[in-house]
Chain A
C-alpha cells in the first residue's frame, strides 16, 4: 500500500493498464509530454512513447470520433476530455456513435475498448463552465456505462475495470478531490466491479445515496445525524449506468426512507430515476417521501457557490425532515 491522492491513483491505474495491454492508448488536450492540465497522465509518454500517449488538437468531437475509430479497430483508447463541461462538442460522437456502435452493426463492430475520462464537479470556484456534473445527460443513453469514484482506492480499481470492460465507459473524476482526497492504495493491479454499489456505512433509519465528491458530504451529514441518534445507511452508487438497484432496494426495505444527493441540478438529475424505480419496488415499505438534495435548477454559480451546492447542512436538514415526516 502507498498513500496516494486521487490523481496519483488514476495515474497508477493508467500506468498499469498501459503496461499490461499494449492496446491501451492515452490521449487528449495537453495529455502528452505535459501530462495533462491536472497531471493525471504524467510520465506516461516518457514510459510508453509518443505513439501511445500523446496530445491531440483542441477538438473534443475530433478526440472522441478518433477514439471511436481506434476502438472499432480493436484498440483500447483512454481519451481525456479536459473538463466535463467541454464534453458537449463530442456529444454527437458519444450519444449517436459510441453508444450505438455495437447495436447498429449487429455486433459486427463495437467500441468496447473505449474509456472516456473527464474531471467533473464544483467546489473549486470554477463558475458554470468548470463545475458541471453532466452524468444525467449520458445516463439517458443506452449503450454507455457511467462510473464515478469517491476516493483514490476506488478510483484506481474502478478505472482499471472501466478500461478493461467490454463496453464504452465514461469515467467522471471528482476534480475537487484530485489532491484533497488521500488514502492507501495498492501499487498492484486490482479491479473493482462496475454496476455494483457499495454500502459505506450500515444503518437502520434512512438510506442515503450519493456518488463521487458528494460522498464526503453525505458521510459528514450522516455523522451529524448520528449525533442526534439517527442511524444512516450510506451507499456509494459508484456506477450510474447500469446502477445497482438491488443493493439500494434491500437497504430501503430495511430503513423505509431514502435520500439521494447529487451536485447536478435537481430537475432531470439521476436522483429522479432512482426515486422512481425505488418507489415502484418499495412502495409499501416507505415511511416518508423519497427525498432529493441536489443543485438548484440553475447554471452553476460563482460568487454564491456555497449557497448553490447540496452541502452537509442541507443534507442534514433533509435527513431530519425525513425522520420527522
Chain B
C-alpha cells in the first residue's frame, strides 16, 4: 500500500477556509473545430492507418445510430440509445489503449467494441435479442459485452462498474499483466456512492486504471447544474489524491493524447488517473426520452457546431488522408451493411426455452430443472400462447 510521506501543512492561527473552487482545471484541446491544429499542440501517436480506423468507426456509429433509431420507431427493436456527439470520447480512448486493456463501460460507449472488431452482426444480434446474441438475448438493447474483446458486459444499474474496475485493475497489477482497465461513466452516475468508493480505493490500492468520465451535461433530464454545485467531476479526482485531467471530449486527438499519457502512468507506475471529457449528448437520452421537455434547440445547435466527427473529417481532408468521394462511398457501404445485417438478425429466432434457467448458476440446480420441465409441459398445452418457444417442440 501507499507509503504516506509525512507532508508538513503550514500552521495558521486565524481560521482560513480553502474555497470549494480553489482548483481550476485547464482543458486540453488539440484539434480546432475547423480541422486545424492548435499551434503548440502535440499530436498523440497517430498515423494514417490509425486515423482512418478511428474515422471508420465514427462513420459506422453515425449510420448505426441513425438506422437503429429508425428501427426502434418502426417497432423492430424495443429500445435504443445513441452516442451521437460523444463518439470521440469512446473511440478516441479505445484508440489509445491496447487490445488487451479491459474496458468497463456504462452504456453509451459502443466505440471500443467496433474498434476492436465487434461485427455489425454482433451488434444486431444483441439489439434483436436473438439466439446468436453473445448475451443470449437476456438484456435490453445496447447492453453489449464481449469476453474476447475485453469489453465487460454492460449492466443497467448505474456506477456499479466503477468499483468493479478497481478490482479488475488490482488483479491485472498483481498478475503483472502490463495492461490496464478503462472505466467509463457519466457525470450523473458519478453522484452514486459507488463512484466515491471506487476513487478512494483506486488511489489507495495504486491500480492501473483510467476513470473516464463523459461529462455530457445531462443525466436524462437533469442538467449538470442540478447534479453538482462544484466545478464538474475533475476536482473530485484531486480530492482522492489522483492525477486528473480535463479535456475537450469532442476533440478526438485530445482524447487520444490524454488517454495515451494516462495509460503510461497507469501501466508503468500503477497510478490511477481521472479524465473528465467535456461533451454533449446530441440525441435523446434513449428512445424513451424526448429532450424538448427540458432543453432548447438553441443549446443543441450550439453543440452541433463542435461535432467531433465533422471536426476529424476536416482534419483528414486537409491532410489528404481522405476525400469526399471516399467518404460518400464508405457511408454507402456502411448503410448497406447495417441494412443487411439488420434484416438477417431480425429473422434469427430467440434462444430456446432452456436458456431461461441456464447461467443462473454454473449448472441449473434441481428446482430450476423442475421449473423448466413444468414450464415445457405447460407450453405444450398452450403452444399458440408462447410462439417464441413452442415452435421448437413441433416435431417431437
- A binding-site residues for B, Cβ under 8 Å: 29-30, 32-34, 37, 55, 57-62, 85-86, 88-89, 125-130, 266-267, 296-299, 301-304, 306-308, 311, 313-314, 317
Interface size class of B (residues with CB under 8 A): 35 or more
Question: Nearest Cβ in chain A — how far from B44, in angstroms?
Answer: 32
A281 to B391 Cα, complex, angstroms: 45
Q: Which residue of B lies closest to A308 (CB)?
A: B356
Q: Would you give the shortest CB distance from B114 to chain A, in whole angstroms?
A: 23
Which residues of A have CB within 8 Å of B346? Answer: none
Instruction: Rank and list the top 3 A-B pairs by shortest CB-CB distance, nearest first.
Output: A129-B156, A34-B221, A303-B137
18 chain-A/chain-B pairs, Cβ below 8 angstroms: A29-B222, A30-B221, A57-B188, A58-B189, A59-B193, A61-B192, A85-B156, A89-B192, A126-B140, A129-B140, A129-B157, A296-B368, A298-B360, A299-B138, A307-B356, A307-B379, A313-B381, A317-B381
Contacts of B351 in A (CB 8 A): 303-304
Q: Which of A57, A61, A304, A311 makes the CB contact (< 8 A) with B355?
A: A304
Chain B residues within 8 Å of A89, by CB? 157, 192-194
CA distance A32 to B219 in the complex (A): 13
Q: Which stretch of B32-40, B313-321, B325-333, B382-390 is in the interface?
A: B382-390
Assess whether A85 is in contact with B157, with CB atoms less than 8 Å apart: yes
Query: Does chain A have a CB within 8 A of B226?
Result: yes
Name B186's closest neighbour in chain A (CB-CB): A58
Q: How far is the CA of A301 from the CA of B386 in the complex (A)?
A: 14
- Cα–Cα, bound, A55→B226 (Å): 7
The answer to whether B78 and A58 have CB atoms under 8 Å apart is no
Nearest chain B CB to A166 CB, angstrom units: 30
Residue of A nearest to B131 (CB): A303
Q: Which residues of A lie under 8 Å from residue B353 when comparing CB positions? A: 304, 307
**Using Cβ atoms and an 8 Å threshold, which residues of chain B touch A299?**
138, 360
Once bound together, how far apart are the Cα atoms of A314 and B193, in whole Å? Answer: 41
- B155, B371, B381: which contacts A297 (Cβ < 8 A)? B371
Residue of B138, B194, B294 contacting most chain A CB atoms (<10 Å): B138
Given A58-B188, A89-B193, A307-B386, 12 further pairs, Cβ under 8 A: A34-B220, A57-B228, A59-B193, A60-B192, A62-B191, A85-B156, A127-B138, A127-B156, A297-B360, A304-B137, A304-B353, A317-B381
B179-226 contacts to A (CB < 8 Å): 188-189, 191-194, 219-222, 226
Query: B residues engaging A (CB < 8 A)?
Result: 78-79, 129-130, 137-140, 143, 155-158, 188-189, 191-194, 219-222, 226-228, 288-289, 293-294, 350-351, 353, 355-357, 360, 367-368, 371, 375, 378-379, 381-382, 385-386, 388-389
The distance in angstroms between the C-alpha atoms of A127 and B107, with both chains bound, is 15
Query: CA–CA, A209 to B351, complex, Å?
Result: 33
What's the Cα separation between A311 and B293 when bound, in Å? Answer: 36
Q: In this complex, what residue of A is CB-closest to B136?
A: A303
Chain A interface helix/strand/loop/mixed: loop
Chain B interface helix/strand/loop/mixed: loop
The answer to whether A307 and B138 have CB atoms under 8 Å apart is no
A86 to B157, CA, bound (A): 6
Q: In the docked arrangement, what's the CA distance between A212 and B160, Å?
A: 29
The answer to whether residues A125 and B191 also contact, given A37-B288, A58-B222, A86-B157 and a CB cut-off of 8 A, is no
Q: How far is the CB of A312 from chain B (nearest CB, A)?
A: 9
Contacts of B226 in A (CB 8 A): 32, 55, 57
- Chain A: CB-nearest residue to B140: A127
Q: List residues of chain A with CB within 8 A of the CB of B129.
A: 302-303
**Is A55 within 8 A of B222, CB to CB?**
yes
**Bound complex: CA of A126 vs CA of B356, how far in Å?**
15
Q: What residues on A are CB-neighbors of B378 within 8 Å?
A: 313-314, 317
Q: A311–B188 Cα gap in the complex (Å)?
A: 37
- Within 8 Å CB of B158, what residues of A? 58, 86
Contact between chains at A303 and B382 (CB < 8 Å):
no
- Give the distance in Å from the alpha carbon of A34 to the alpha carbon of B350 in the complex: 37
**Chain A residues within an 8 Å CB radius of B227:** 57-58
Q: How far is the CA of A301 from the CA of B226 in the complex (A)?
A: 35
- Report yes or no: A59 in contact with B191, Cβ–Cβ below 8 A: yes
A125 to chain B: which residues have CB within 8 Å? Answer: 78-79, 140
Query: If the complex has contacts A88-B157, A130-B156, A313-B382, are A304 and B388 also in contact, measured as CB distance less than 8 A?
Result: yes
A59 near B192: Cβ-Cβ < 8 Å: yes
A306-B189 contact, Cβ under 8 Å, with A29-B219, A298-B357? no
A34 to B388, CA, bound (A): 38
CA distance in complex: A85, B386 (Å): 26
Which B residues touch A33, using CB under 8 A? 221, 294
Closest to B226 in A: A55
**B222 to chain A: closest CB distance in Å?**
5
Among candidates A30, A59, A302, A317, residue contacting B140 with C-beta atoms closer than 8 Å: A302
Q: Which residues of A contact B220 (CB under 8 A)?
A: 29-30, 34, 37
A89 to B221, CA, bound (A): 21
Chain B residues near A127 (CB-CB < 8 A): 138-140, 143, 156
Return the chain B residue nearest A294 by Cβ. Answer: B371
Indicate if the CB atoms of B368 and A297 lie closer than 8 Å: yes
